[in-house]
């Protein structure tokens, strides 16, 4: 009965999203950056502690001369800029060219950074970014909306220098028996338009785990956070659609013995941070 109700509700939601499909055809991508820019402020307030902890050690990946080159994949309007260390040189990529206006506004508000350039490309094909040119690659709330997660991760590894780090934060699908999953499944057709292609039923941790294992990188820690934007936000039911956040830390040449295959999680005991840091 629950499954039938879920499918019926999803069908109704799909019908309600038809006007947004028309808007997308006639130029919705111009409106999404404005929406994202305004949502950034409230989202950063809710995720401030999480992001501050995630990016706390970015500066340690600077070169010997102190230069830190950071590439952000799917930069959007620059929501992460305030968390980057002083003097960091930031290169940005995003497939939506209309973000550049708001990106520059964010750069003007974060004078502690050096703005390199904006490249309008998808994360799957960043041929404009040279191999090994970045000390740090950042990818937050992006893998939910790309067409090929593995290709984006391959590109991230390509542009990272040896000894660099990959930082990520992703919302993921909930357990299929939960009511959170019910909401995710029902509202996904609508959310896809509101989120510029965001898929809220994607098990992103599986892609990242396969990517890490494929390179035999050693220790890997992963956890899923039940962090709810609903807490004190008053944002309504849509807040739950991005409730579960995926977290991971990976270090080279160490063997993890804390992996729980049954629960699909790692017990974070060392350099655990609220999202993911992969250094190689």
Inter-axis angle of helices 149-159 and 204-214, to 10 degrees?
50
The DSSP code for 85 is: P
User: Averaged over 89-96, what is the pLDDT?
Assistant: 95
Spell out where the chain has E strands.
69-73, 89-93, 114-119, 134-140, 160-171, 219-226, 244-251, 259-260, 265-266, 276-279
Please list, in sequence order, all residues whose beta carbon lies within 8 angstroms of the beta carbon of residue 260, skipping any fewer than 6 positions away: 266, 267
Closest CA to 70 of 154, 140, 122: 140
Is residue 276 predicted with pLDDT exceeding 70? no
Residues 271 and 247 sit within 8 Å (Cβ to Cβ): no
In degrees, to the nearest 5, what angle opens at C-alpha 70 toward C-alphas 169 and 46? 35
pLDDT of residue 18: 75
Report the distance separating Cα 208 and Cα 178, nearest Å.
23
Query: 150 or 243: whose pLDDT is higher?
Result: 150
pLDDT of residue 75: 93
Is residue 191 predicted with pLDDT exceeding 60? yes
Largest CA distance in the chain: 63
Residue located via tokens 């898929």 = 199
Please list, in sequence order, all residues whose beta carbon lies within 8 angstroms of the beta carbon of residue 211, skipping any fewer than 6 positions away: 150, 153, 154
pLDDT tens per residue across span 17-53: 777 766 666 666 677 777 788 887 788 888 888 899 8
Query: 37 or 118: whose pLDDT is higher?
Result: 118
Name the percent of the chain lying above pLDDT 70: 73
Residues 70 and 91 sit within 8 Å (Cβ to Cβ): yes
Closest CA to 46 of 275, 234, 190, 271: 234
pLDDT tens per residue across span 62-92: 988 899 999 999 999 999 999 999 999 999 9
Report the distance separating Cα 130 and Cα 148, nearest Å.
20
pLDDT tens per residue across span 222-273: 443 332 222 222 222 223 233 344 433 333 222 333 333 333 332 222 222 3
pLDDT of residue 279: 53
pLDDT of residue 247: 37
Query: pTM value?
Result: 0.76
Number of Cβ atoms within 10 Å of the Cβ of 138: 26
Closest CA to 50 of 251, 238, 223: 223
pLDDT of residue 150: 94
CATH dotted code for 2-279: 3.40.50.150
Domain ranges of the chain: 2-279
pLDDT of residue 135: 94
Residues 120 and 94 sit within 8 Å (Cβ to Cβ): yes
Write the DSSP assignment of 107-123 as a string of letters. Answer: HHT-TTSEEEEEE---T
Report the distance separating Cα 242 and Cα 141, nearest Å.
10
């Amino acid at each position: 009965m629950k499954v039938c109700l879920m499918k019926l509700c999803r069908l109704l939601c799909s019908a309600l999203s038809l006007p947004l499909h028309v808007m997308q055809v006639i130029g919705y991508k111009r409106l999404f950056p404005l929406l994202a820019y305004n949502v950034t402020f409230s989202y950063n307030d809710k995720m401030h502690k999480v992001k501050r902890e995630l990016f706390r050690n970015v500066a340690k990946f600077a070169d010997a001369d102190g230069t830190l080159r950071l590439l952000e994949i799917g930069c959007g309007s620059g929501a992460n800029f305030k968390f980057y260390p002083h003097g960091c040189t930031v290169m940005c990529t995003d497939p939506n060219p209309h973000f550049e206006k708001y990106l520059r506004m964010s750069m003007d508000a974060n004078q502690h950074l050096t703005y390199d350039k904006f490249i309008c490309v998808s994360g799957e094909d960043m041929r404009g970014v040279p191999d090994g040119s970045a000390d740090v690659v950042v990818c937050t709330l992006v893998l939910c909306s790309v067409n090929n997660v593995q290709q984006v991760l391959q590109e991230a590894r390509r542009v990272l220098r040896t000894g660099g780090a990959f930082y990520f934060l992703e919302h993921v699908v909930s357990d299929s028996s939960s009511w959170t999953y019910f909401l995710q499944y029902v509202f996904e057709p609508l959310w896809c338009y509101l989120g510029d292609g965001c898929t809220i039923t994607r098990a992103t941790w599986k892609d990242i785990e396969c990517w890490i294992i494929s390179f035999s990188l050693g220790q890997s820690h992963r956890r899923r956070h039940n962090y709810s934007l609903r807490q004190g936000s008053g944002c309504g039911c849509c807040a739950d659609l991005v409730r579960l956040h995926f977290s991971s830390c990976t270090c080279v040449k160490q063997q993890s013995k804390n992996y729980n295959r049954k629960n699909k999680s790692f017990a974070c005991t060392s350099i655990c941070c609220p999202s993911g840091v992969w250094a190689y």
